[in-house]
Amino acid sequence: MMVKELKDKTKVDELIVTITEKKEPREFQSKWSGSSGRVCDATGQDEAGDTVSLTLWNEDIEKVEVGSKIRISNGWASSYKNKLQVSAGKFGKLEIVS
């Protein structure tokens, strides 16, 4: 799957991107579930040069650095503040690829 194929509120079977930007992590507290943790915004670029916003959660934050090539499997894509973003989410997997 490529960035241009992503659509709002859809599953991401597999997406491979290189991290071009990673912001500072921040703490969150869910108003709905009461859970808390850390979240971080990043940007990834696919082989075609298209970019997408990524949301990194908890332990995935430490796995990723600028320049890392990652694979997101069984993730999701959704629009937040009119901007498409991708995440491995609770049930997906983020891994570093070489």
CATH code of 71's domain: 2.40.50.140
> Over 90: is that where the pLDDT of 96 sits?
yes
C-alpha separations of 87 from 43, 53 in Å: 11, 9
Our count of domains for the chain comes to: 1
* Range 54-80 average pLDDT: 95
Calpha distance 35→75 (Å, rounded): 20
Q: What value does the mean pLDDT of the chain take?
A: 94
Q: What is the pTM of this model?
A: 0.90
Share of the chain above pLDDT 90, in %: 85
**Residue corresponding to tokens 């108003």:** 31
Domain range for 89 is 3-97
> Over 80: is that where the pLDDT of 41 sits?
yes
Question: Which pLDDT score is estimated for 89?
Answer: 87
Residue 98's contacts (CB-CB under 8 Å, 6 or more residues apart) are: 69
